[in-house]
Chain A
């Protein structure tokens, strides 16, 4: 079980980082989602694995899994949703403003922005 959890964390991390390194906003968001899964699992796993021992007090329970990482991960899941939402809106805004959802700034973009400015000026003049 430990091995497959570790492999899962590894695979999710690898996939997440690969997608985060893409050049468009949307795959970056997907990558971030995968990477969040990996991180949450990683933090969760620091409490070690336990099967059938939920941290809910019970007179018959043989033991409990570690509740602290679970509490940390619970808030992390909710917060990461907030972060994803902000990121989505920012990339959406960037796309609507610039007409491209590239995450990187290149010299081509300089030209494009100069052109956009020119357009706006002519528009204003007209």
Chain B
């Protein structure tokens, strides 16, 4: 026998796993699709059945899966009486609805989608009711809002569906947010997010200062979900969903999630005056208001929707009373409401399906045309009205009995009168539903001639109607054990002495019931004039108010966005810089500064010269930036000085990289500048320039001061580890290179990928640019004509030709020595790319391109692959990814040398850098060809040897 702690999580997972099936199975037909959907639900139901005996025996099944213990978020599940009742409802009605929907959905509706959404919802709902962790519960709670959104908007072509879905999501989502806050407060008070712990902390929670805040926030979540006044308005609009959804989500399950939550939290939250006043008053108002509006609704589903609101109000009110007996009655009514309301929704769906209208004013006389449907609907509607011997009667009597003992607003009478009014309206709309739909003369103007549907569609509501009768007749045998276990779980303690039976004797409740039935019949008779008066009475329209609120919020956010995001990027940057400086200043003044611990190093004269050169060059860039060529060239002076600084400050690797990168950057910018304007016009005013200069200076002072502050103080660094292990662990003397290819090889791997992607992006952008309208524009562009007449001078061609092998040799040398001396793949890649670039520049694009053997794209790819394969090679030795290995070998007549896998990785780096740099420059220079630049096939503009030949010829001619 598998224990419940295993079955419970499996049960919750089943609908989610099942949600994957419909989309696949729909290809095999609608019957297969619905069967597989039903199978997932049925399997979960079987698991629940296996666990039921233990729970009915008073036990609680728990399952603990640690998920994020640091956050207190664990996938803990708990199945007690309350969870059992709800899980049974969710899965049981779920199964019926799946069956019903198979016949309800038309051939045009995407059924796979429908069942997927439905199972997602089912899993989420199941998760709520068996969660033992309130954070987990919140996750499932939001999932029900989302799946409900998908289901309400299922008919995407209907605007009502989309609007209703949006409204439901907004209202329940906002409530859910409030509830998250409330739950977090609750968890903090109790010191745990586990429900079972929270439920033990009643005193601590109720005596906390934050009790009222937490209560209101949690109730906001529950009230929005369970459509309590004043949040009730979303539910009728959610009726735009297909009827199976309305029956399932919006009567039987999801809207009961709020009720469930109040019942779940009942032991810790209920029993205080605040709870009583808020919950019972809201419930009472909702009950009466819902019933009153339901009386005047002509749409069958709208009538049922308001009736649902009314019944949810009833349940809320009962829970609000805070007495164990009232909670027990609430539990019993949850069962009863489920049975009759789901059946009623399905009947309404059948009527709509058959007569093609749900408008009560266009119906009537259906009892003769569809007797089976009518029987089911009449039985269940009578139960809704609270007529004996049906189950609705029993729970309504018990509710009225509780009301009769409750003091509210200074006595018992106010609530007795108001609650009786609610019951009276309830009788009236139930009778109206029966008589105006099914009785009266048979009409001849139905949009479609109705008759009873196939048995498959009737089976589900018929089963529920049967339950309505059976529970009504034998409540003690059928419902009492479940009610007892569930109510025990809700109250968390001793249950009052109660028994369920049809006849309670002559009690005040009986008189209230009789008054309600009598009054309801009177209202039904007077319905026509009352309806006219109702229509004539002005009253607030929730949808219009909601739409106005949403529009208001939208225009407010638009206003804020437009004020702060006006598209001026320099403004954002300015704001960002100022904010950063201010934060830095706040940190500086807020924290203490320890005394400097380092001596300043002396400044030799040569360094001072370099420093002055750098400062002057930087100033010159700022002053002359309008002349772009000059600005660019002087920028490279700054770069050179920075590189010199790196050399002086013991960073030879950085200096090499800086110099090579700067060379390539300047080349790149020169190519780009050929197509850009050569001068920058003066766009900004003096005031603006002053402002920007001030921002720059302030930021500069801040950064400089920060740098100076930490430069004068010592620091603990992890670099000692790198220095100590570089040779032992990485087999290299150049610690910087060992860090790159070994200690932090993963980083480097990511970085070469970024560089490779940048190269490919450049290529792709250029491709897109040249394929678009720009290519036409470039062709007609007036580019500067002042250029050298000898574009490929003889001396340069010869010199680069000679230099090519030497440069390659230098590159290879730098690469090979990289592990032990300054150098490595990055620098080597840049050096070789400069060597190749020289060929492009000296001998021309076309000539160089023709002699290229490997595509730059594939070079990038090969580099990344080589690096990755090297990293993966470690797996073969049973080591983690990127672990390097090395060894020393001696092959006479050479000296002893080292071979390290890190060198192979570095080769990958080398290839990627070379490929990316070349691809970038190659891409940019393609522009020139489109601009009509001639491409030379010969290495030089004129061939001196030909000239000599010609001269010899000429001389021959002379002779």
Contact = CB atoms under 8 A, between A and B. Distances in A.
Interface in B172-222: none
The secondary structure that dominates the B interface is helix
Interface in B533-571: 567-570
Interface stretch (B71-79, B407-415, B611-619): B611-619
B924 A89 contact: yes
A53 B707 contact: no
Given A10-B707, A21-B570, A55-B734, A82 B638 contact: no
Given A8-B611, A81-B664, A104-B567, A37 B638 contact: yes
Nearest to B744: A71
Contact of A24 (B646, B683, B727): B683
Given A14-B697, A103-B569, A56 B684 contact: no
B704 A50 contact: no
A42 B704 CA distance: 9
Contacts of A103: 569-570
Contacts of A49: 601, 649, 711
Interface string A15-43: 11111111111110110011001101110
Contacts of B923: 89
B628 interface: yes
B568 A105 contact: yes
A78 B717 contact: no
Given A7-B704, A13-B699, A105 B739 contact: no
Given A21-B573, A37-B638, A6 B680 contact: no
B762 A86 contact: yes
A30 B703 contact: no
Nearest to B827: A74
B703 A74 contact: no
A44 B658 CA distance: 13
B733 A56 contact: yes
Contact-size category for B: 35 or more
Given A44-B654, A64-B735, A104 B568 contact: yes
Nearest to A10: B704
B651 A92 contact: no
B735 A6 contact: no
Given A67-B719, A82-B755, A37 B639 contact: yes
Contact of A57 (B701, B714, B735): B735
B758 interface: yes
Given A5-B707, A30-B631, A54 B622 contact: no
Given A14-B700, A23-B684, A51-B649, A2 B611 contact: no
A104 B567 CA distance: 7
A40 B661 CA distance: 13
A88 interface: yes
Contacts of B747: 75
Nearest to A53: B650
B661 A78 contact: yes
A118 interface: no
A50 B735 CA distance: 15
Contacts of A16: 696
Nearest to B717: A66
Nearest to A105: B567
Interface string A92-122: 1101110001111110000000000000100
Nearest to A7: B704
Interface in B705-720: 705, 707-708, 710-712, 714-715, 717-719
Contacts of A101: 676-677
A6 B712 CA distance: 10
A126 interface: no
Nearest to B722: A67
A24 to B, nearest CB: 5
A66 B762 CA distance: 35
A6 B711 contact: yes
Nearest to B699: A17
A2 B711 contact: yes
Contacts of A52: 650
B567 to A, nearest CB: 4
Interface stretch (B140-148, B454-462, B667-675): B667-675
A23 B826 contact: no
Contacts of B710: 45-46
B646 A93 contact: no
A88 B668 contact: yes
Given A67-B735, A81-B665, A105-B568, A15 B622 contact: yes
B463 interface: no
A88 to B, nearest CB: 5
Contacts of B772: 97
A14 B577 CA distance: 11
B913 interface: yes
A3 interface: yes
B672 A92 contact: yes
A73 B611 CA distance: 21
A124 B98 CA distance: 56
Interface string B625-646: 1101001100100110010011
Contact of B717 (A53, A68, A96, A105): A68
A9 B707 contact: yes
Contacts of A92: 672, 675-676, 924, 927
A55 B696 contact: no
Given A9-B704, A21-B573, A2 B712 contact: yes
Contacts of A71: 736, 739-740, 744
A85 B920 contact: yes
Given A4-B607, A85-B758, A101-B676, A78 B711 contact: no
A6 B708 contact: yes
A13 to B, nearest CB: 4
A46 B619 CA distance: 25
A20 B696 CA distance: 9
A92 B781 CA distance: 14
B598 A2 contact: yes
A65 B9 CA distance: 56
Interface string B653-667: 110011001001100
A93 B718 contact: no
A64 to B, nearest CB: 6
B950 interface: no
Contacts of A8: 611, 614-615, 645
Interface in B884-915: 913
A50 B611 contact: no
A121 to B, nearest CB: 13
Q: Which of B665, B684, B727 has the most CB of A within 10 A?
A: B665
B113 interface: no
Contacts of A68: 717-719, 722, 739
Contacts of A47: 717, 719
B822 interface: yes
Given A2-B598, A54-B651, A93-B765, 18 more contacts: A4-B611, A6-B705, A11-B615, A21-B574, A21-B696, A22-B684, A29-B669, A34-B621, A41-B642, A44-B646, A56-B820, A56-B821, A67-B736, A71-B740, A83-B758, A91-B672, A105-B567, A106-B568
9 contacts: A5-B649, A11-B704, A15-B621, A54-B650, A65-B651, A70-B653, A92-B927, A103-B570, A104-B567
Interface of A: 1-27, 29-30, 33-34, 37-38, 40-42, 44-58, 64-68, 70-71, 73-75, 77-86, 88-93, 95-97, 101-106, 120
Interface of B: 567-570, 573-574, 577, 598, 600-603, 607-608, 611, 614-615, 618-619, 621-622, 625-626, 628, 631-632, 635, 638-639, 642, 645-646, 648-654, 657-658, 661, 664-665, 668-669, 672-673, 675-677, 680-681, 683-684, 692-693, 695-697, 699-701, 703-705, 707-708, 710-712, 714-715, 717-719, 722-723, 726-727, 733-736, 739-740, 744, 747-748, 751, 754-755, 758-759, 761-762, 765-766, 769, 772-774, 777-778, 820-822, 826, 830, 913, 916-917, 920, 923-924, 927
The 9 closest A-B pairs by CB, nearest first: A10-B704, A14-B700, A82-B758, A6-B708, A1-B601, A18-B696, A67-B735, A71-B739, A57-B733
